[in-house]
Amino acid sequence: TQLLEQSPQFLSIQEGENLTVYCNSSSVFSSLQWYRQEPGEGPVLLVTVVTGGEVKKLKRLTFQFGDARKDSSLHITAAQPGDTGLYLCAGAEDTNAGKSTFGDGTTLTVKP
């Protein structure tokens, strides 16, 4: 069973601060996704990274895929209360068709 470890598990910061969330594994993934989930709703896809070393930006969010495709990070610049939620990373494998492995998530709270 492949494992994805996310850190930190909980993060509480003030509006305007920067933060980074990490997603680490000993396994190689063909692609990695980041999702955001709000209470009472399903996860919503933020980004997919595919190539080792890839960096993608989505407004104030920056996603990076490690060179070896085993780890990823999510950096948020100048966090806002609307960024509050559960952030999940998930790794997908083509060799194990149909399965994505999820980390346990990082619960982010941004205080105004």
Partner 1 sequence: NAGVTQTPKFHILKIGQSMTLQCTQDMNHNYMYWYRQDPGMGLKLIYYSVGAGITDKGEVPNGYNVSRSTTEDFPLRLELAAPSQTSVYFCASSYSRGSTRTGELFFGEGSRLTVL
68/78 with CB nearer partner 1: 68
62/107 with CB nearer partner 1: 107
CB-CB contact of 91 with 4 (8 Å):
yes
CB-CB contact of 6 with 21 (8 Å):
yes
Supply the minimum distance, in Å, between the C-beta of residue 78 and partner 1.
27
85/91 with CB nearer partner 1: 91
Cα dihedral 9, 14, 15, 17, rounded to 10, equals -70
Q: What is the C-alpha to C-alpha distance for residues 101 and 66, in angstroms, rounded to an integer?
A: 17
Q: Give the residues lining the site for partner 1 (CB under 8 A).
A: 1, 6, 30-33, 35, 40-45, 48, 88, 90-92, 94, 97-105, 107
Inter-CA distances, 59 with 2, 10, 26, 76, 95, Å: 31, 23, 30, 9, 33
42/112 with CB nearer partner 1: 42
Supply the minimum distance, in Å, between the C-beta of residue 75 and partner 1.
20
Supply the minimum distance, in Å, between the C-beta of residue 62 and partner 1.
19
